Amino acid sequence: MKATLPTFSRACTLIAACALLLAARAAAAEGGRRVISLDGAWTIAEGRLDQVPADFGRTVPVPGLVCLARPAFAEPGLENGEGKGNPRKDPRRDAFWYRRTFLCDGPLPAVAILKIGKAMFGVRVILNGQTVGDHLPCFTPGYFDVRGALRTGPNEILVRVGADRDALPPDVPDGFDFEKTRYIPGIFDSVELILSGTPNLVNLQVAPDIGSGSARVEAQVRNAGGDAVITLRFTVREARSGKVVGAATSDPVALPGGGEGRADVRIAIAGCHLWSPEDPFLYRIEADSGADRMETEFGMRTFRFDPATRTAVLNGKPYFMRGSNVTLYRFFEDTACGDLPWNADWVRLFHQRMKEMHWNCLRYCIGFPPEAWYRIADEEGLLIEDEFPIWYGGTGWSKPTKALGSAELAVEYSEWMRERWNHPCAVIWDASNETASTETAVAVQRVRGMDLSGRPWSNSYATPRVPGDAFESHPYHFNNPKYRLSDLAREAVIPQGNELRNPGDSPVVINEYGWLWLNRDGSPTTLTRELYTNLLGPESTTAGRRHLYARTLAAETEFWRSHRQAAAVMHFTSLGYSRPNGQTSDHWLDVATLAWEPEFLSYVRDAFAPVGVMVDAWAETYEAGSAHAFRIAVVNDLYQDWSGAVRVRLLRDGVPIGEQEKRAAVPALGRAEVEATVQLPREPGPCQVEAVLVGTPAGDVRSLRDFTVLPR
């Protein structure tokens, strides 16, 4: 699979024809709603904030970033290393201006709303020469009332975005990231024109109640006409089959002229089919006001953390979360990025690769991807910890470059929640990453009650505010370059936080650990050069480093999973950047085709298997000729008991020199231990002990430990 920039460039010559096709393809829905997609080829120019450029000589895809423009702009979004923590002014331009035309056929409707899904950095919309509004937040959708400027027939739209983070006021989050060197602006989510009659539907929120097999639905309605009293009709269908499984009519809703109202109904779902990562079953709900109709998908899914057991609870049952992270905004500046994040086939394959690793969850870390990612996560079955892009550090290393205030944060948090709350994949609202701020917690309290599903919150260095919120832990053992895997034997099995001590009364989410990063070419990152020198010596090879990384990360994963003290274990990271001066990276040999680095796939995949195994031994040396009892822990994340053989082998140079078989019986969601006494060879030298679970639902699963046999 390859990025489609050459194809896009050829298609740009057809921009005028594409504008004509928009209107022809925008079919009017029953009930009066019509949605015209404005995605596709736009023209673009650079210039000042206060003046429309005269020459729009470049083309750019929407959604996308300005770095995809052809001909290319010079270094958009570049910030030098000295600018870390401070918004940097682009010396070449103040803004980028997007332009396109579209047709609006037929009589103008009562309501015309332009939606821009996400755009950096700050948006102004001008339609047919008339400024219709601004939206400064970069990571939440902007809605613009364009009815007064819209025309029947051809229309011209201009969208201005700031060229840099400096274009934003100091209280508006700008996505600062200690590791980024480029903050590339652009309209990076879809744009659409929503046309309808009035009263029109503004938002739907669906809150599943799996106990009763029903869903509570709250509909927000706006009235652009005179006083009215309406009833809303709701229909629920299975998303794939279209089969009707529920319906309801609201009580009358009184709507003053120019005002809003809400309808609240409960809809029984016939044959209620629950959504989970293992069975991502979706429904579609339609709400009809008579003058407008809105649809959204949802899943019959509940999620919470149990304060008593400190575990995740999915659909009323304990659920162990295994996963990784996605730092998409870092990938935006990667040389391999191109248009991949907007290629639906690539994004779907990416999420399938996540499931391939036995992961059932992801943190979309320090930034929200395009909305299509959430729809694909719904369909493929992944739980998402959705993290707002705030990262300003902690005590002694913070960069408080933004005047974060709870009032602005509450506005942006509410826009975020309204966009996302019907996605069954979205299970944790994450207010920030590693940030010492009291304002985020105040903002969370202001908006928490908006979510009828009551999702838990995470908030990095802030103490959880209500029972069931997550305590976030980043146990980076190897940030000490002298750390060795054998040191894990002395570590506390209860994860701690970075700034806060674990109070012991909150579920723990480990959503970062490791600190063993290698670039995609196998070279150490700036954070791990000294570590690999200490572990492997100054002449280490690419193959040696990759092997050590995979084996060590697998062992640490087994450590956190086997002790059952973390509700989630999420590795960092499955998608980032790769560059010589970078700090972190991912595990792809070829990110365009999503080919894993083989050592990572081989060892770390086993470490995340639902029925998993850990050789609970960490010593680097043992005495030759001695007998040693190795403890072997087996964990079972499934709802069914598992029993089977545990094959224990002693290996030298990959050749078995001793083998025995034990039996393990592990209850559903449980843990068990077996012990195998191994006679070590009399000849000194390197050895391995290997424990293999034979015939689990994921196949044979192994854990290995390396050690050296020393002479007596």
Tens digit of pLDDT for each residue in 631-648? 999 999 999 999 999 999
Note whether 384 and 368 are within 8 A (CB).
Answer: no
Q: Report d(CA 659, CA 273) in Å as an integer.
A: 46
The CATH code that applies to domain 613-710 is 2.60.40.10
Among candidate residues 531, 501, 493, 539, the one with its CA nearest the CA of residue 514: 531
Token pair in block for residue 117: 């899904």
Q: Do domains 200-298 and 613-710 have the same CATH topology?
A: yes
- CA torsion 239-244-249-254 (nearest 10°) is 30
DSSP character string of 355-406: HHTT--EEEETTS---HHHHHHHHHHT-EEEEE-S---B-TTT----S---H
Q: For position 80, what pLDDT does the model report?
A: 65
Taking only the tens place, the pLDDT of each residue in 171-220 is: 999 999 999 999 999 999 999 999 999 999 999 999 999 999 999 999 99
Q: Report d(CA 426, CA 361) in Å as an integer.
A: 10
SS3 assignment, position 282: coil
- Asked if residue 372 has pLDDT above 90, the reply is yes
Among candidate residues 420, 419, 416, 421, the one with its CA nearest the CA of residue 432: 416
Q: Report d(CA 542, CA 599) in Å as an integer.
A: 12
The CATH code that applies to domain 5-196 is 2.60.120.260
Taking only the tens place, the pLDDT of each residue in 286-316 is: 999 999 999 999 999 999 999 999 999 999 9
Q: How, if at all, do strands 595-596 and 588-590 pair?
A: antiparallel
Distances, alpha carbon 90 to alpha carbons 98, 120, 169, 612, in Å: 18, 14, 16, 51
Note whether 470 and 458 are within 8 A (CB).
Answer: yes
Q: Report d(CA 319, CA 304) in Å as an integer.
A: 10
**What number of CA atoms fall less than 13 Å from residue 576's CA on the CB side?**
26
Mean pLDDT of the chain: 93
Please, which pLDDT band fits residue 9 given cuts at 50, 70 and 90? very low
Q: For position 401, what pLDDT does the model report?
A: 65
Note whether 708 and 685 are within 8 A (CB).
Answer: yes
Main-chain phi, psi angles of 462, to 5 degrees: -90, 145
Is omega for the bond preceding 697 within 30 degrees of 0, making it cis? Answer: no
Q: For position 15, what pLDDT does the model report?
A: 38
- Asked if residue 695 has pLDDT above 90, the reply is yes
Other beta carbons within 10 angstroms of residue 251's beta carbon come to: 9
Alpha-carbon dihedral sign for residues 10, 14, 19, 21 = negative
Q: Report d(CA 203, CA 222) in Å as an integer.
A: 10
Locus of tokens 């029993």: 643
- Asked if residue 7 has pLDDT above 90, the reply is no
Alpha-carbon dihedral sign for residues 161, 167, 169, 175 = positive
**What number of CA atoms fall less than 13 Å from residue 497's CA on the CB side?**
24
String of b and e for 342-362 (b: at least 16 CB within 10 Å)?
Answer: bbeebbbbbbebbeebbbbbb
Distances, alpha carbon 615 to alpha carbons 203, 494, 629, 711, in Å: 51, 19, 11, 23
Q: Report d(CA 367, CA 116) in Å as an integer.
A: 17
Q: Give the global pTM.
A: 0.95
Average pLDDT over residues 615-627: 96
CATH number assigned to the domain with residue range 303-608, chosen from the 4 options 3.40.50.1220, 3.20.20.80, 2.40.50.140, 3.30.1330.10: 3.20.20.80
AA letter at 199: P
Taking only the tens place, the pLDDT of each residue in 27-66 is: 333 348 999 999 999 999 999 999 999 999 999 999 999 9
Locus of tokens 């970069």: 138
- Asked if residue 237 has pLDDT above 50, the reply is yes
Is omega for the bond preceding 63 within 30 degrees of 0, making it cis? Answer: yes
Task: Return the H-helix or E-strand segment holding 567.
Answer: none
Task: Return the H-helix or E-strand segment holding 188.
Answer: none
The contacts of residue 17 (CB under 8 Å, 6+ apart) are: none
Q: Report d(CA 304, CA 316) in Å as an integer.
A: 9
Other beta carbons within 10 angstroms of residue 705's beta carbon come to: 22
Locus of tokens 């991949």: 340
The contacts of residue 284 (CB under 8 Å, 6+ apart) are: 236, 237, 238, 239, 295, 296, 297, 298
Q: Report d(CA 276, CA 268) in Å as an integer.
A: 20
Average pLDDT over residues 255-265: 96
Average pLDDT over residues 389-411: 88
String of b and e for 286-323 (b: at least 16 CB within 10 Å)?
Answer: bbbbebbbbebbbbbbbbbbeeeebbbbbeeeebbbbb
Distances, alpha carbon 652 to alpha carbons 495, 607, 615, 701, in Å: 34, 22, 17, 20
Note whether 648 and 661 are within 8 A (CB).
Answer: yes
Taking only the tens place, the pLDDT of each residue in 13-27 is: 333 333 333 333 333
Q: For position 400, what pLDDT does the model report?
A: 62
Chain centroid to Cα 115, Å, comes to 22
Main-chain phi, psi angles of 299, to 5 degrees: -125, 145
Taking only the tens place, the pLDDT of each residue in 128-150 is: 999 999 999 999 999 999 999 99
Domain boundaries defined on the chain: 5-196, 200-298, 303-608, 613-710
Task: Return the H-helix or E-strand segment holding 477.
Answer: none
Q: For position 252, what pLDDT does the model report?
A: 97
Assign residue 366 a region (left: φ > 0; alpha: ψ between -120 and 50; beta: otherwise): left
Other beta carbons within 10 angstroms of residue 409's beta carbon come to: 26
Poorest-confidence range of 6-10, 384-388, 574-578? 6-10
3-state class percentages of the chain: helix first, strand second, coil last, to nearest 5? 20, 35, 45
Note whether 517 and 574 are within 8 A (CB).
Answer: no
Among candidate residues 121, 125, 141, the one with its CA nearest the CA of residue 133: 125
Q: How many residues does the chain have?
A: 712
The CATH code that applies to domain 200-298 is 2.60.40.10
DSSP character string of 498-533: SSS---SSS-EEE-------B-TTS-B-TTTHHHHH
For residue 126, list its beta bridge partners. Answer: 131, 158
